Amino acid sequence: MRLSVLDQSPIPEGLTGVDALRNTIDLARLAEKLGYHRYWVAEHHGGPMLAGAAPEVLIGPIASATSSIRVGSGGVMLPHYSPFKVAEVFSILAGLFPGRIDLGIGRAAGTDPLTTFALQRDRRQASADDFSDQLAELLAYLEDDMPAEHPFARLAGTLPGRPEIPERWLLGSSPQSAIWAAEIGLSYAFADFINPDGAALAADYRTRHAAEHGDRASRTAVAVWAICAETDEQAQFLAASSRMSMRMLRQGTLIPVPPPERAIAYLKAIGEPTSNGFVNGRRGIIGSPTTVAPKLLEVADQYGAEELIVVTITHDHQARRRSYELIAEAIGLEPPTAVDSTSDLTRSPVPTL
């Protein structure tokens, strides 16, 4: 079982986005030392809770601060961008960090409708939903498979990072994403922390993939929200921060990640539970190592997944670090034999942000 990290770069109340980005670099270094397989950064816009607005910008510093862990986007929200620009950016990253870069592609906006509109270059009207066309164009650039009659055909050969290309994944939480991933033959990462009822969709992906691509192996990963601490009680205490944040989000109010003491007081005042389960129908795996490890493995088994991608948000960065340490130990990750804190490219410390 491979174990990986999805980092949304949470901004704790009382700190700044810069603090959150520094914490992302720090956590990536720790994840590599612990033996996590890949480190993905998310894309969210226009809110005070998450600092990861540009995964394509974060990937380079993370890869420079580490030496072996795979680094990528979880994901790039393709509707905001030109497919050619995304292909160029990830070609450069793949060329600079060969064999280590992932391109996880998403369809969601990663924000509210107004911010989505602000991200558009042409604001005369809302952008068309042409994701399948965008995806096909992006992959044609990367795989140098653009039809000869296409007006952009020559551009595929100009990607600056060739012959290196990123590993391609489609991210999703819906039936349509599973269908696209299978038809195209992409690896598929399902967001269980958004939709906890995706096991059947993952199975459908594998069935369709086998029908379309024969003996070419499919790959399934499942992203799960989890917090691990020394005791069940401590983990539930830490999880109150996310419960409050998600409750406020459901009401249309975005806030930085609150300290658990304030979150518990808020949840009690409105009559929401402060432990057991999660908010808004989203699955949370919360507890001590002996509680969390079997539940994580159970989710992976439900999805038939070869890889678990763990999402953890806490107010305190040290608690988040400790959560990933405890999960790694409980699952039985083996640290790499030698981990350098610098990349093969630069052999110099990552600059202070």
| Mean pLDDT to the nearest integer, 108-129 | 82
Q: Checking DSSP bridges between strand 285-287 and strand 220-228, what pairing results, if any? A: parallel
pLDDT on residue 277: 63
pLDDT on residue 281: 67
Encode pLDDT of 55-104 as tens digits: 999 999 999 999 999 999 999 999 999 999 999 999 999 999 999 999 99
Dist CA 169 CA 321 (whole Å):
26
pLDDT on residue 11: 98
pLDDT on residue 143: 94
| Mean pLDDT to the nearest integer, 139-147 | 94
Taking each helix axis from N to C terminus, what angle separates 289-303 and 199-213, rounded to the nearest 10 degrees? Answer: 40
Dist CA 228 CA 320 (whole Å):
8
Domains of the chain (ranges; CATH) run: 2-224+283-331 (3.20.20.30)
Dist CA 239 CA 276 (whole Å):
10
Taking each helix axis from N to C terminus, what angle separates 232-250 and 317-331, rounded to the nearest 10 degrees? Answer: 120
Dist CA 150 CA 40 (whole Å):
33
| Chain position carrying tokens 């107010």 | 315
Of the pLDDT bands very low, low, confident and very high (cuts 50, 70, 90), residue 339 is low
pLDDT on residue 234: 97
Query: 3-class DSSP state for residue 301?
Result: helix
Encode pLDDT of 231-274 as tens digits: 999 999 999 999 999 899 888 899 999 999 999 999 999 988 87
State the greatest distance between any 2 C-alpha atoms of the chain, in Å, as a whole number: 64
Half-sphere exposure of 29 (CA within 13 A, CB side): 14
Q: Is the pLDDT of residue 340 over 70?
A: no
Instruction: Tell me how far CA of residue 46 lies from CA of 17, 43, 109, 110, 120, in angstroms.
Output: 12, 10, 11, 9, 13
Poorest-confidence range of 46-50, 53-57, 131-135, 281-285?
281-285
Percent of the chain with pLDDT over 70: 94
- Predicted structure pTM score: 0.92
- Between residues 78 and 279, the one the model is more confident about: 78
